[in-house]
């Protein structure tokens, strides 16, 4: 990358299925306070700008970005919101630093999904108003169609998808932040009530409340604030068409993931991702998505992810540990905050602060987030601890 940018502070709060005692603004305040403390106790006044990520309908507030500044300590500061995944928000922060006008930028995101009685009703408003919404279907039917097509095209089996759920929820048992940790079997997943065949109800990640704030800095500033900066080596994001019927690779592929990763790899100078990347935190909103994304991110060949998973390749001791945090299936689904949660986990691993789930000798990690149905937007970032 033209100009190096590092993550110098991390903070999070919540990570609970419900949080009746806290508003989302209070959760962000807590996460921001921890983040500023983590970055050497800096005062928010010395931060140059702030980026938030949110969507109006999730909060029942139009123009949600009005309510960003106070809890971040960002009143009368440059603040803007990205209506996208928080990894896109972080990309905006990185571009600001590279542009040279800012040295220190905070990226924040939250999920207060427990306020919603039926998330699917909100998600339905993201579907095409003329062609899809009148069908009056739960939008997860799109995931069912995608999964069916992906299994057909890649030769992946239903059992292999179930194994993703088993693995991730097992991994979550040693992550103190994860709430969906469990020892379950492939049979449990296969026997769970169907949602949209072949997608079963255990193939879907559960919702989670939480807030995350990260602090990003230019190279000079980073060394001032911390002796363990985590560098952003490359990042990319891409969006496929929202029209289900005109996606270039149909419903079986994840073009957005491939395009986002290609950009990130080229910036980071990575030619053979499966060799050069030590571990990955990859979107697993639905079980099949993890496998589909692993393939699209070129961490293995097409149609290989399921078999490699069964061989243990993606376990903590495998060649390419994936979702050691538990992923969305084990930790919980944070909506637009998913991207920052994945970055947070990669940073913890690279700093050697991941506790019981710490991977040995890791230098380069990949975080990838997807925005969920019905979107086709993905963002990827490569992080490293090599100075």
Partner 1 sequence: MRKVAIVGAGLTKFVRRALETPKELSFEAAKTALDSCGLSLKDVDCVAHGTAPDAFDGLHQNGEYMVDGCGGWNKPTMRVYVGGGTGVHAIVHGWHHVASGMFDICLVVCEEKMSSAMPHAQGFFLTIFDAITERDLKPNLLWIFALEMNRYMNRYGYTKEDMALVAVNNKKNGLKHPSSQFKDEVTVEDVLNSEIMAYPVSRLDVSPVSDGGGAVVLASESVARRITDKPVWIEGVGWSLDTAYWATRDLYYPRYTDTAARMAYEMAGIREPAKQINIAEPYDPFDYKALHHMEGLQLSPRGKTVELLRDGYFARDGNLPMCPSGGLLGVGNPIAAAGIMKVAELFWQLRGEAGERQVPGNPRLGVAQSWGDLMQVSSVVVVGN
Angle of CA points 301, 304, 309, to nearest 5°: 130
Which one among 26, 55, 137, 276 touches partner 1, defined by CB under 8 A? 55
State yes or no: cis peptide before 95, omega within 30 of 0.
no
State yes or no: cis peptide before 133, omega within 30 of 0.
no
CB 342 within 8 A of CB 107: no
62 lines the binding site for partner 1 (CB under 8 A): yes
Q: 20: Cβ–Cβ under 8 A, 6 or more apart, which residues?
A: 114
Q: How many CB atoms lie within 10 A of CB 312?
A: 12
The footprint of partner 1 on residues 3-32 (CB under 8 A) is 3
377 lines the binding site for partner 1 (CB under 8 A): yes
The footprint of partner 1 on residues 238-257 (CB under 8 A) is 238-243, 248, 255-256
Measure CA 307 to chain center.
Answer: 24
Q: Please, which residue, 95 or 145, has the CB nearer to partner 1?
A: 95
Q: How many CB atoms lie within 10 A of CB 276?
A: 16
Q: Please, which residue, 68 or 313, has the CB nearer to partner 1?
A: 68
CB under 8 A: which stretch of 94-102, 159-167, 297-305, 345-353 binds partner 1? Answer: 94-102
At its nearest, how many Å lie between partner 1 and the CB of residue 318? 31
Q: Please, which residue, 30 or 240, has the CB nearer to partner 1?
A: 240
95 lines the binding site for partner 1 (CB under 8 A): yes
Q: Please, which residue, 2 or 136, has the CB nearer to partner 1?
A: 2
371 lines the binding site for partner 1 (CB under 8 A): yes
Residue 98's DSSP bridge partners are none
Q: Please, which residue, 75 or 311, has the CB nearer to partner 1?
A: 75
Tokens linked to 387: 């100075």
CB 267 within 8 A of CB 3: no
60 lines the binding site for partner 1 (CB under 8 A): yes
136 lines the binding site for partner 1 (CB under 8 A): no
CB under 8 A: which stretch of 27-35, 87-95, 163-171, 288-296 binds partner 1? Answer: 87-95
Q: How far apart are CA 15 and CA 7, in angstroms?
A: 21
The footprint of partner 1 on residues 113-132 (CB under 8 A) is 122-126, 128-129
At its nearest, how many Å lie between partner 1 and the CB of residue 141? 16
The footprint of partner 1 on residues 205-224 (CB under 8 A) is none
262 lines the binding site for partner 1 (CB under 8 A): no
Nearest to 104 by CA among 21, 43, 163: 43
Question: 3-class DSSP state for residue 269?
Answer: coil
DSSP letter string, 283-336: --SBHHHHHHHHHHTTSS-TT-HHHHHHTTTTSTTSSS-B-TT-HHHHH-B-GG
Binding site for partner 1 (CB under 8 A): 1-3, 55-58, 60-63, 65-70, 74-84, 88, 91-92, 94-96, 98-101, 122-126, 128-129, 236-243, 248, 255-256, 259-260, 263, 267, 371, 374-377
């Amino acid at each position: 990358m033209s100009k190096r940018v590092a993550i110098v502070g991390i903070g999070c709060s919540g990570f609970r299925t419900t949080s009746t005692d806290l508003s989302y603004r209070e959760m962000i305040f807590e996460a921001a306070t921890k983040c500023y403390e983590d970055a050497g106790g800096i005062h928010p006044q010395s931060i140059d700008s702030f980026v938030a990520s949110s969507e109006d309908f999730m909060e029942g507030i139009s123009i949600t970005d009005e309510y960003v500044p106070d809890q971040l300590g960002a009143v009368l500061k440059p603040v803007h919101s990205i209506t996208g995944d928080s990894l896109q928000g972080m990309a905006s922060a990185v571009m600001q630093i590279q542009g040279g006008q800012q040295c220190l930028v905070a990226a924040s995101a939250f999920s207060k999904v427990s306020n919603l009685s039926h998330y699917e009703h909100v998600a339905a408003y993201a579907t095409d108003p003329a062609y899809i919404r009148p069908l009056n279907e739960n939008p997860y039917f799109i995931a069912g169609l995608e999964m069916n097509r992906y299994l057909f095209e890649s030769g992946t089996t239903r059992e292999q998808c179930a194994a993703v759920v088993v693995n991730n929820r097992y991994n979550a048992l040693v992550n103190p932040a994860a709430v969906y940790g469990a020892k379950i079997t492939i049979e449990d997943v296969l026997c769970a009530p169907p949602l949209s065949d072949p997608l079963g109800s255990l193939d879907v990640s559960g919702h989670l409340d939480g807030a995350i704030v990260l602090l990003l800095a230019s190279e000079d500033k980073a060394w001032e604030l911390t002796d363990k900066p985590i560098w952003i080596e490359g990042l990319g994001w891409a969006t496929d068409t929202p029209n289900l019927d005109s996606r270039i690779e149909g419903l079986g592929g994840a073009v957005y993931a491939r395009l986002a990763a290609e950009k990130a790899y080229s910036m980071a100078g990575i030619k053979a991702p499966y060799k050069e990347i030590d571990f990955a935190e990859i979107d697993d909103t639905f079980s099949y998505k993890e496998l589909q994304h692993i393939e699209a991110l070129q961490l293995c060949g097409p149609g290989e992810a399921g078999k490699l998973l069964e061989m243990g390749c993606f376990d903590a001791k495998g060649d390419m540990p994936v979702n050691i945090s538990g992923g969305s299936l084990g930790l919980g689904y944070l909506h637009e905050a998913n991207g920052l949660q994945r970055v947070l986990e990669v940073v913890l691993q690279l700093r050697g602060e991941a506790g019981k789930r710490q991977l040995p000798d890791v230098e380069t990690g990949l975080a990838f987030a997807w925005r969920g149905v019905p979107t086709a937007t993905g963002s990827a970032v490569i992080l490293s601890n090599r100075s």
